[in-house]
Amino acid sequence: MAQSTVNAPDGKTGATGDRLLVVYAGGTLYDGVAGTDRQIADRLTRLADVLYVDPPQPTRRFAGHALERVRPGLWRLTPAAPPGGYRPGVRRLTEVLARRAVRRAAATIGAPIGAVIVAGTIDLLGAAPPGAPALWYRTDDLVAGAGLIGLSAGPLARAEARMAARADAIAVVSPALADRMAGLGRIAALVPNGCDVAAYDGVDDAPWPDDLPQELAGRPVAGFVGHVNARIDLGLLERVAAAGHPLVIVGPASRDFAGGRFAELCALPNVHWVGRKPYVELPSYLRAIDVGLTPYADTAFNRASFPLKTLEYLAAGRAAVTTALPAAEWLAAGPLLRIAATPEDFARAAGEELARPRTGELYARRRAFAAEHDWNRRLATLAGLIGVEAKEVAGR
């Protein structure tokens, strides 16, 4: 196997002054869906220089690790992994190579590593030098969701136990994950997912999407924003559409999900699927939506999750209807969030919210509630766990 290298062809890799370098090992690619990892890492650059580490990418020919400067204060490292890099046995080699790549990237940037946050499945906690805090940030129950990400639950459970023992501190997004960590003998800080309220300022003035019929404007429309995959209960969307309500679906769909049922749903005249859209375009689609739907199935993986979409609906001033997830109960949003225990309740709640007129008072109340869960507040808590001063981002 070739020696691991870091490629930085532009040569523009110098650290910005004497700020702390924080390594953020994400569970998703930096340029993928703008979920928890991207939201936290981008905001963390206000407090420190950040090296974002993608999940290692297995390659047939080990050609070295890629390092690029995204913008001042933010670098992205994409570690290469050997073929089958996530298989039992090979995974440990992948971790060794990735930790080595992180250290070499820090040397290229010219800054010592001051802290490490690991949100992915590969154990990079050991990349933290002596004295630097190593935080494990649990954003999902990956053992319960092993099938969704194409990995085996056994190796993930063993890796989970190792990381729980190694981490200096642990943060989790849901009470269920806190309970799981307690079962491993660790106390975890609860740092739920958040939302970017400012991103939805003036949502009603956003441009109308080119791929939605203009006749939807002014009509009560239900919508789902997110990945159409095994996490959702497709039957709930089918019930909303069967009631005759216009339904907009924004996001990619897994090819192997629900056989031909999703295609049949999208073929209905009142259903409009627009596929994946960049995060910056979401305000336009939420302009068209009156009621946002979180139709998650009742699974162990979902019960431990904290869906971003529910708060984003509220941040846009929209009504929100969700299945009875523990995260929804934790929010305690009262009448601002409809929680449905059964498919019948879900369809009925969606219909009732669609019949409710848009008002400035409701719009303001929903956004004010969402502001209490802004990403900046979450960052302040997370930063405190690694000893980074975060007073400047405590508010909006």
**DSSP letter string over 35-103?**
SHHHHHHHHHTTTSEEEEEPPPEE-SS---EEEEEEETTEEEEE-EE-TTTTSTTHHHHHHHHHHHHHH
CB 239 within 8 A of CB 214: no
Quickly count: other Cβ atoms within 10 Å of residue 124's Cβ. 25
| Separation between Cα atoms, residue 74 and residue 72, nearest integer Å | 6
The encoded tokens of residue 367 equal: 């956004």
Q: Above 90 in pLDDT, residue 334?
A: no
- The CB-side HSE value for 390 (13 A sphere, CA atoms) comes to 22
Q: Give the residue with greater pLDDT, 127 vs 61.
A: 127
Which residue ranges form the domains of the chain, and what is each CATH number?
A: 6-194+375-393 (3.40.50.2000), 197-371 (3.40.50.2000)
- pLDDT level of residue 85 (50, 70, 90 thresholds): confident
**pLDDT at residue number 16:** 61
Over the chain, what is the mean pLDDT? 90
Residues 225, 228, 233, 238, CA torsion sign: positive
**pLDDT at residue number 131:** 93
| 358-370 per-position pLDDT tens digit | 899 999 999 999 9
Q: Give the residue with greater pLDDT, 159 vs 203.
A: 203
15-19, 52-56, 135-139, 341-345: segment of lowest average pLDDT: 15-19
- pLDDT level of residue 17 (50, 70, 90 thresholds): low
**pLDDT at residue number 144:** 77
Measured at the alpha carbon of residue 110, what is the angle toward residues 105 and 111, in degrees to the nearest 5?
90
83-87, 262-266, 352-356: segment of lowest average pLDDT: 83-87
Q: Above 80 in pLDDT, residue 15?
A: no
| 244-267 per-position pLDDT tens digit | 999 999 999 988 787 889 999 999
| Separation between Cα atoms, residue 152 and residue 170, nearest integer Å | 23
**pLDDT at residue number 19:** 81
**pLDDT at residue number 378:** 94
Give the H or E element holding residue 273: strand 271-275
Quickly count: other Cβ atoms within 10 Å of residue 330's Cβ. 14
Q: Give the residue with greater pLDDT, 341 vs 155.
A: 341
- How much of the chain exceeds pLDDT 70, in percent? 92
- The SS3 of residue 71 is strand
Q: β-pairing, 65-71 with 6-7?
A: parallel
